[in-house]
Structure 1
Amino acid sequence: MHAIGIDIGGTKIAGALVDEFGSILKSDRVPTPAGDPRLIEDAVVAMVQGLSAGQQVAAVGVAAAGFIDAAQSTVYYAPNINWRNEPFRAKLEARLDLPVVIENDANAAGWAEFRYGAGRLYSDMVTLTIGTGVGGAIVSRDRLLRGGFGVGAELGHLRVVPDGLPCGCGAHGCIEQYGSGRALLRMANEYADAGGIGQTLAEVRAQRGELRGEDVAELIVAGDGGALAALRQLGHWLGQASASLSAVLDPQVFVFGGGVASAGELLLEPIRSAYLDHLPARGFHPEPKFLVAELVNDAGVVGAADLARLSTGQE
């Protein structure tokens, strides 16, 4: 029995018809009308109807950034969409003759990696998605950990620096300010300001008027000293945060997704090094694997579809 996964982002809504093996059979994508909740609802309904035409569909899973209640029904708060205590599942089920599940987008992506990607051989996994911010998902004993109110695993807001940089969440020193794509760009600019190994970064910035994420990514691939130093600094913070998470969750594997993770071993090596430097009882604590996510841009729709299908008992 197939399921439909919908991933609502700040700029686009992606959807897919997904089978029980995590394979995408049909897909669709439209711009997100982020300022109007009713238009988002209309877009999701139209997408589900198009993807389900002529198909046997068990359920619909919708992934979105924000706080989702434990019943996977109401969006308490969404940072990029005008949702506040939005009963989104009830609204969709009233218009679709299908059961609907609402899930946090990072949870959905992490679940996809656990079921079909880099975490599929493990029972306990932590996923960190390194994009503009830092997203997270936790699987413990083969179950997605959501917390008592449904808003757990906000790993980007683990504090790593007391009284550190201000974060959009209102706190200071969150790993999102030190381990995200935005943080990497800030670090690259700092190396450009300092000269020395940052000279090429400074030259690119002068040519373009500003450094962009893709500029830093290209210089990392080219082996530029300044760009690689910024990436190692980023990896140091992510490794330190992973050690703290390991002390609490004891995962068998850490999976890193998002655009920055495309650097592969160049990112994983400093993460492992900093992890070991900060690991309690090093030498006696079993060491987890550190892997790059495999499903990339498909993780959100695949994970949302799978969670919806499992909610109906369709194993």
Structure 2
Amino acid sequence: MNRVRYGHALTVGVDIGGTKVAAGVVTPSGRVLARVRTETPERSKSPAVVEDTIVSVVEELRAGYPVRAVGVGAAGFVDERRANVLFAPHLSWREEPLREALSSRLGLPVVVENDANAAAWAEVGFGAAQGVDDVVVVNLGTGIGGAIVLNGRLYRGRYGLAGEFGHMAVVPGGHRCECGNRGCWEQYASGNALTREARELVASESPVARALHQAVAGDAARITGPLVSELARKGDRACTELMRDAGQWLGAGLANLAAAFDPELFVVGGGVSEAGDLLLGPAREALERGLTGRGYRPEARVVPAALGNEAGLVGAAALARDALPSRMRRPTRRR
């Protein structure tokens, strides 16, 4: 009986967010053999502290597995060389040479990638977009992130910054965005947008928001996106309408992306997407209405992401493996 001896094939993927660091040992088939998760230290999110945290979780994982490379998915701008984090809004990284710092401490090859790109690569390799060469991935969380795969290759742009869909201006003079501009897409179709609208309903003491009001005892500040989604799934009319509004904004943005990239498939991930067809149904309708040349062109499908919270680390690990010389990527076999 043949048995795979993983050897050269194993890589570690690390997914870094504003509040957590998640890592896993990943096989060439996308299977996660071991996982570690830790909180980003609240006392400091300085480059040194976060770097220490990454090194710690990788060392813990490699103690039990013969790891050959590390991929890091970072929530921020990563340069075209996949080496430096130019800017991370939730961490103190500014022109941070993360690849060099980690590689010198770990003694392993390291690839640094934007977290949305990493998640998209996982969906293409192992998830909802398997077998599709032209894909746009949209991640709906606190904001909106995204990634582009064209002709089966991850498209990063000249400077590595492609895919910042959340900051497309869709409403001139609209809501102020954290990026400094107004009317950005993520101000209308993200978790933050959903929460803002729900809080305004409760704060205005609207009679249609009775269930929301009761759920938070009248304290609008306690409303979160997951709460709105939960109440919508239970059939609350106000929360269903809020979800539909967000879905329509999502579909309008997808129509713009279809005009720009003409993908075969849209994959929608992130926490907000867990609402399923409450969000994606209205999004598909709005995409159909807003599609340039509608009725005379194929329409991209819109599907939910398949890999959930592990997409980032699985994709980062896969990208690290892809960067290795071909002789080091293949698992060896023995009888």
Give the alignment's TM-score, normalised by structure 1. Answer: 0.96
2:26 alignment partner in structure 1: 18
**Residue among 238, 255, 265 paired with 1:226:** 238
Deviation at 1:203, TM superposition (A): 3.4
More displaced 10-residue stretch of structure 1: 262-271 or 212-221:
212-221
Secondary structure at 1:90's aligned position in 2? helix
- 1:174 aligned to 2:184? yes
Contact 1:232–1:270 (CA under 8 A) maintained in structure 2: yes
- Structure 2: gaps spanning 5 or more residues: 1-8, 331-335
- 1:47 aligned to 2:57? yes
1:116 alignment partner in structure 2: 126
Contact 1:243–1:279 (CA under 8 A) maintained in structure 2: yes
Alignment of 1:269-288 (within 5 A): 269-288=281-300
* Amino acid corresponding to residue 132 of structure 1 in structure 2: T
Contact 2:226–2:272 (CA under 8 A) maintained in structure 1: no
Alignment of 1:70-89 (within 5 A): 70-89=80-99
Contact 1:195–1:202 (CA under 8 A) maintained in structure 2: no
2:4 alignment partner in structure 1: none
* Amino acid corresponding to residue 292 of structure 1 in structure 2: P
* Amino acid corresponding to residue 224 of structure 1 in structure 2: D
Secondary structure at 1:122's aligned position in 2? coil
Deviation at 1:301, TM superposition (A): 0.5
Secondary structure at 2:128's aligned position in 1? coil
2:210 alignment partner in structure 1: 199
Deviation track 1:75-104 (CA, whole Å, cap 9, x = no partner) reads 111111111111110111111221100011
- 1:28 aligned to 2:36? yes
1:213 alignment partner in structure 2: 225
> Which runs of at least 4 in structure 1 moved beyond 6 Å after TM superposition?
none
Deviation track 1:187-226 (CA, whole Å, cap 9, x = no partner) reads 2234443735333223334445542333212211111110
* Amino acid corresponding to residue 214 of structure 2 in structure 1: E
Secondary structure at 2:131's aligned position in 1? coil
Distance 1:190 1:204 in 2: 15
Distance 1:91 1:231 in 2: 43
Secondary structure at 1:57's aligned position in 2? coil
1:155 alignment partner in structure 2: 165
Deviation at 1:128, TM superposition (A): 0.9
2:313 alignment partner in structure 1: 301
Contact 2:12–2:25 (CA under 8 A) maintained in structure 1: yes
- 1:102 aligned to 2:96? no
Aligned length: 315
* Superposed CA RMSD: 1.5
Distance 2:45 2:208 in 1: 43
Distance 1:304 1:285 in 2: 35
Alignment of 1:242-257 (within 5 A): 242-257=254-269
Give the alignment's TM-score, normalised by structure 2. Answer: 0.90
Distance 2:308 2:64 in 1: 28
Secondary structure at 1:241's aligned position in 2? helix
Distance 2:38 2:288 in 1: 44
* Amino acid corresponding to residue 2 of structure 1 in structure 2: L
Contact 2:213–2:219 (CA under 8 A) maintained in structure 1: no
Secondary structure at 2:259's aligned position in 1? helix
- Structure 1: gaps spanning 5 or more residues: none
Alignment of 1:119-158 (within 5 A): 119-158=129-168
Secondary structure at 1:178's aligned position in 2? helix
